[in-house]
Amino acid sequence: MSPIDLPEKPTLAFMASQRPEALEAVERLAKRYGNCAISEADVVVAVGGDGMMLEALHAVMGQETPVYGINYGSVGFLMNNPSEDGLLDHLRHAEQTSIHPLRATGTDMAGNTFFALAINEVSLLRETRQTAKIRISVDDRVRLEELAADGIMVATPAGSTAYNASAHGPILPLGSRALALTPISAFRPRRWRGALLSHDSKVRFEVLDPENRPVSAVADNQEFRDVVMVDIEEADDVSLHMLFDEGRALGERILIEQFLA
């Protein structure tokens, strides 16, 4: 990957999480480098943790504007180390990683339809003490007639180290062109651990007995209650671009994550 091409004086838009240290950092950075509207920026700089990076990526959805993250949060897997003094130099030498989000389309018990794009994962989660029961289809064929579990998710490679990994799903190399289908605390079939799917697979979740076993759908930070059906596929017409310091590209971080105890 080669460094990105930036103007001599790039315009920057800063976004900060609500952590006091992130807000203070953005105040310093804006005074030093200027701060424009997101729609006018050459680069959006997200200051905070991984949640702030996801928020910034959603903010530039459809604009092709790259996002550079500076870690002032608690996790920072998608972020770079703080670099206030040499920020422009870091941006000019940054490596760009491009990803496609997931597109989720579904309906709820009232007949309403919903639509969302998710960078990390789309998950279905039980709303009550009752176990969720979900039918799973892949590419228009029923693959599992009934999953009884706390939930189920489809995760992208970029999101495979997040909730998916916590649910014991596989960590996917960034260039694997795959998706992880991962159950959350599966009760039946007890030994089913999920599946690896091609990136162009089309997944359908159908909620069985939604009146007595209500289920929510969550696409990153968007939640939809009382769903009955959700279709999920890669949004290959939408590209998102993240910038990482030299030697710290996302693909390398995902590889390193697989060797951590």
Mean pLDDT of the chain: 92
Classified by CATH at the fold level, domain 12-100+239-257 comes out as Rossmann fold (3.40.50)
- Catalytic residue at 42? no
The predicted model gives 250-260 an average pLDDT of 73
pLDDT tens profile 38-71 = 999 999 999 999 889 999 999 999 888 999 999 9
SS3 at position 137: strand
The predicted model gives 25-32 an average pLDDT of 95
Q: What is the CATH number of domain 102-234?
A: 2.60.200.30
pLDDT tens profile 119-149 = 999 999 999 999 999 999 999 999 999 999 9
Report the pLDDT value the prediction gives residue 261, as an integer from 0 to 100: 53
Query: Of 139, 140, 53, nearest to 99 (Cα)?
Result: 53
Give Cα separations from 208 to 132, 143, 182, 227, 247 (angstroms).
Answer: 8, 15, 18, 10, 47
Same fold, 12-100+239-257 and 102-234: no
- Whether residue 220 is annotated as binding a ligand: the answer is no
The CA distance from 141 to 101, in Å, is 23
A 10 A CB-CB count for 17 gives: 21
- Whether residue 164 is annotated as binding a ligand: the answer is yes
Query: Does the predicted model carry a pTM greater than 0.85?
Result: yes
Rg (CA), the chain: 19
Domain positions in the chain are 12-100+239-257, 102-234
- Whether residue 16 is annotated as binding a ligand: the answer is no
The CA distance from 77 to 14, in Å, is 19
pLDDT band at 8 (very low <50, low <70, confident <90, very high): confident
Report the pLDDT value the prediction gives residue 237, as an integer from 0 to 100: 94
Report the pLDDT value the prediction gives residue 17, as an integer from 0 to 100: 93
Query: Which residue type, as a one-letter code, is found at position 242?
Result: M
Percent of the chain's residues with pLDDT above 70: 97
- Whether residue 161 is annotated as binding a ligand: the answer is yes
Kindly compute the dihedral angle of the four CA atoms of residues 239, 236, 218, 69, in this order, to the nearest 10 degrees.
Answer: -20
Report the pLDDT value the prediction gives residue 5, as an integer from 0 to 100: 76
Q: Which of 50, 85, 89, 226 is catalytic?
A: 50
